[in-house]
Amino acid sequence: MKKTLSICLMGLAAAVAFVALPARTQSPDQPEFPYADAQRVAAGAALYAEYCASCHGANLEGQQPNWQDRDADGYLPAPPHDETGHTWHHDNALLMRIVKEGTEAIVGGTYSSNMIGFGDVLTDEEIANVLGYIKSTWPAEIQEIHNEINARKLP
């Protein structure tokens, strides 16, 4: 009985120590998105409505259902940012770069996109708030997968 109690107490102490640690260390290379901060999510939602919704949809649904098919001019429609899109497949650093610099600047070559960069319009904190708002709408399991993607990308 004492041995079982000791093992349980050691397990509990390990769990408390694990919970007390930050999930990951923020770095400039892998910024945090404040998806659990209600005030910053609200600020991000307002910025999303102002700068993003006209292309990506008021409900993050994307420009059109066939967002993976190029239009007559060779451009892809704006993708959804809800769980049906691919936003959550990318780590935070790449998402920040896409929003700041625009898709063409990131992909390079002859890739064409209507996604402009917002680095001259929004601060890094504002961009993180928008992305935090987007992430806050994803189901918990998608948020966790996204957290794991970010954890693998840490230096």
What CATH number is associated with residue 113?
A: 1.10.760.10
- Which pair of tokens denotes residue 134? 């987007």
Residue 5 is assigned to a structural domain of this protein: no
Buried/exposed code over 37-49 (b: 16+ C-beta within 10 A; e: otherwise): eeebbebbbebbe
pLDDT at 76 over 70: yes
Residues 56-82: what's their mean pLDDT? 92
**The pLDDT value given to residue 5:** 38
Residue 18 is assigned to a structural domain of this protein: no
**The pLDDT value given to residue 136:** 98
Residue 14 is assigned to a structural domain of this protein: no
Structural domain containing residue 41: 25-152
State pLDDT tens for residues 81-116: 999 999 999 999 999 999 999 998 988 888 888 999
Residue 93 is assigned to a structural domain of this protein: yes
Residue 79 is assigned to a structural domain of this protein: yes
Residue 148 is assigned to a structural domain of this protein: yes
pLDDT at 11 over 50: no
- CA proximity to 44, closest of 147, 102, 128: 128
Residue 72 is assigned to a structural domain of this protein: yes
pLDDT at 118 over 90: yes
Residue 6 is assigned to a structural domain of this protein: no
Total domains present in the chain: 1
